[in-house]
Amino acid sequence: MSSSPQTSSLGLNTYKGSWLPLHTKHLLNRVMFAAKASDISYFNTKGLIASVDELLNVPNALPAPPLNDYNSATLTDPNIVAGTTWVNDITNDGTLNSNRRNSYKKWLVGVWVGQEKNIREKITLFWSNHFGTEADTVVYGSMIYNHHQILRTNCVGNFKQMVRAVTTDPGMLRYLNGYLNTKTAPDENFGRELQELFTVGKEGGVKYSEEDVKTAAKVLTGWKIDANFNSIFDSTRHDTNNKVFSVFYNNTTITGKTGVNGALETDELLNMLFQKTEVAKFICRKLYRYFVYYYIDTNVENNIITPLANAFIANNYEIKPVLKLLFQSEHFYDTLYIGCQIKSPTDHVIGFLRQFEIAFPNAITDYADAYFLYNYMVNQLISMGQSPVDPPNVAGWPAYYQSPDFNELWINADTLPKRNKFTDLMLETGYTKNGKKVIVNTIQFAKAVCSNPSDPINLIDSLFSFLVSTEISSTLKSNLKTQILLSGQTSDYYWTDAWNLYNTNPTTINFNTVNTRLKALLKYIMNLPDYQLQ
């Protein structure tokens, strides 16, 4: 792929073209983890404006918390009964916390698969990458859960409030050593990442200094974590001297404060950072790369990023107005950006499970089997390079920021075969636990995506339209029809008769005839490079 791909000259004016299933699917693929056929039908009838409004209307009610699925003959949690939640329990037991971290990841798969019709889970993944924390470093299951609840709760709310909450969040204090930051031993870790990765960034000629990092660290001295895993401010550990920043920050001075008032310096620091327009531009570039495309040239910077940033500032850093402007724009629906993203492992695995409407056991009443099966999906994500809540470092997953390759980093000689093997496996054997199987029901799927699956042309067109976001040649479709659905014959009725015979007489033999051909067709489609795009 070229290092300088073509970009659209269209801006943020509202898209006025026809609202087709193609556009609906494009929107849903970007704001959710793919879409069910019923989701596309649902939003296609609503039109652009109503669809975007509903997708950005995130409910206050949060998913039920993860449960203890790990009690066994060899391990018993002394405080948490099996099948009840551990998120409010405090333990220093390393084995229990390891199991709770794993429980969280399994639970998260279930939340992703069963997500409601809104942006919450897709954008919470964005924020968990932006505020990168590694679960193994945070250690404590309850801290991990609470950290991500901050992101989930504030995902389309106020960015300034989210940064403030994250700054003194126990999970972040632990991850970036904020709880060790004292006046006698200032730790620069969070002060650096707060500026470089979380707010101001390093793009566009940003010139804060190394002294600014050290000064920010002094401002943040005094925060620590108490025995109940709450963040508290200890004034005896706080640097009470005045803190003077560089010319980049207009030589701002934060007056040193004593006692409990020392905590107010944290807010003054954040207020200073948010005076920089670079914050809005930095975040809007990241949102653009996540939801639209990784390449930003002068054209996109001027027509999209700058007006988005201006809207961000004008709305006092409320996130929803920025997303609404982007998702309703003619730029977002330019054909250049439909099918231009390489799917992340999460988009690939969770999107597959949602597209094929794979049914898992109930995560509340049958949590043990559900979590057991979720764990297979966690392992798939890990093998493809995106372990849930475990980015490789504080900067997040390289595919979201590493220039010039960005999302091309998701695909390599190791991960592509694993992606294909996963979809093949889910078609052939699936996974089973206590007689409960998660596997593709090919016939049910064909009926869900195609109005007339007995017509091989209609069926192939519908499958490609649903599963692939790029243009596929009619020659390939014709060859697949002949070679797979017609078993090498030339007349369409070889498929039509087989389909109709199964539907009127669903014997094992008739089922196998249809199922075998559908599996072969679906395997072929999902092994195409085009299936890796959205």
Mean of the per-residue pLDDT values of the chain: 97
Q: Is 147 part of a structural domain of the chain?
A: no
**85, 191, 246, 255 from 210: Cα distances, Å:** 44, 10, 9, 20
> Minimal CA–CA distance to 220: which of 267, 175, 174?
267
- Predicted local distance difference test score (pLDDT) of residue 206: 83
Note whether 451 and 430 are same-domain residues: no
Regarding whether 462 and 435 lie in a shared domain, the answer is: no
- Nearest alpha carbon to residue 274 among 196, 348, 199: 199
Over residues 72-98, mean pLDDT: 96
Sorted by sequence, the CB contacts under 8 Å of residue 153 that are 6+ apart come out as 62
Token look-up 């950072």 returns: 273
The reply to whether 433 and 320 lie within a common domain is yes
Biggest CA–CA distance in the chain, Å, is 86
Q: How many CB atoms lie within 10 A of CB 215?
A: 26
Which of 360, 511, 350, 354 minimizes the C-alpha distance to 448?
A: 354
**What are the residues whose beta carbons fall under 8 Å from the beta carbon of 280, sequence distance 6 or more?**
308, 309, 310, 312, 313, 317
Q: Counting Cβ atoms within 10 Å, is residue 529 exposed (0-12), middle (13-18) or buried (19+)? A: exposed
- φ/ψ (deg, to 5) at 232: -135, 160
Question: Residue 203: is its pLDDT beyond 90?
Answer: no
Q: What is the mean pLDDT of residues 469-476?
A: 97
Question: What pLDDT score was predicted for residue 480?
Answer: 98
Write the CB contacts of 254 (distance below 8 Å, at least 6 apart in sequence).
Answer: 219, 242, 243, 245, 265, 268, 269, 272
Which of 2-11, 384-393, 483-492 bottoms out in mean pLDDT, i.e. has the lowest? 2-11
Residues 285 and 432 both lie in one domain = yes
Residue 11 covered by a domain: no
Q: Residue 19 falls within a domain, yes or no?
A: no
Q: Check whether residue 259 and residue 290 sit in a common domain.
A: no
Per-residue model confidence as pLDDT tens digits over 147-175: 999 999 999 999 999 999 999 999 999 99
Spatial separation of the C-alpha atoms in residues 34 and 54, rounded to whole Å: 16
516 and 401 both lie in a single domain: no
Strand 231-233, strand 223-225: pairing: antiparallel
Domain match, 367 and 480 both: no
Give 2's pLDDT tier (boundaries 50, 70, 90): very low
Residue 1 has pLDDT above 70, yes or no: no
pLDDT digits (tens, 9 = 90+) for 364-416: 999 999 999 999 999 999 999 999 999 999 999 999 999 999 999 999 999 99
Locate 457 and state its tokens. 């042309």
Whether 156 is in a domain gets the answer no
pLDDT digits (tens, 9 = 90+) for 284-330: 999 999 999 999 999 999 999 999 999 999 999 999 999 999 999 99
- Domain-located, residue 163: no
Last residue of a domain, one of 440, 464, 487: 440
Together in a domain, 429 and 453: no
Q: Percent of the chain beyond pLDDT 70?
A: 99
The kind and range of the H/E element at 466 are helix 456-467
The answer on 236 and 260 residing in a single domain is yes
Number of domains in the chain: 3
Please state the three-class secondary structure of 172-216 as a single string.
Answer: HHHHCCHHHCCCCCCCCHHHHHHHHHHCCCCCCCCCCCHHHHHHH
Q: Are residues 410 and 453 in the same domain?
A: no
Concatenated DSSP letters of 55-76: HT---SPPPPPPB-----SS--
Pull the structure tokens for residue 240: 């009470």
Q: How far apart are CA 327 and CA 52, in angstroms?
A: 7
| Domain coverage including residue 57 | 26-135+278-440
> Is-contact 340 23, C-beta < 8 A?
no
Among the candidates 249, 275, 301, a domain finishes at 275
Do residue 319 and residue 298 come from a single domain?
yes
What's the pLDDT at 97?
Answer: 98
**For residue 143, is it within any domain?**
no
The answer to whether the beta carbons of residues 259 and 235 sit under 8 Å apart is yes
Does residue 290 sit in the same domain as residue 261? no
The reported pLDDT for the residue numbered 127 is: 98
Kindly state whether residue 157 falls inside one of the protein's structural domains. no
Residue 152: CB atoms within 10 A of its CB come to: 18
| CA 418 and chain centroid, separation | 20
Cα 416 to Cα 138: distance, rounded to the nearest angstrom: 31
Does 204 have pLDDT greater than 90? no
Last residue of a domain, one of 256, 275, 294: 275
Q: What letter does residue 238 receive in the DSSP assignment?
A: S
pTM tops 0.85 = yes
Q: Is there a contact between 361 and 62 (Cβ–Cβ < 8 Å)? A: no
Q: Would you state the pLDDT for residue 3?
A: 54
DSSP 51: H
Distance (Å, whole) CA 339 – CA 318? 29
Q: Is residue 514 part of a domain?
A: yes
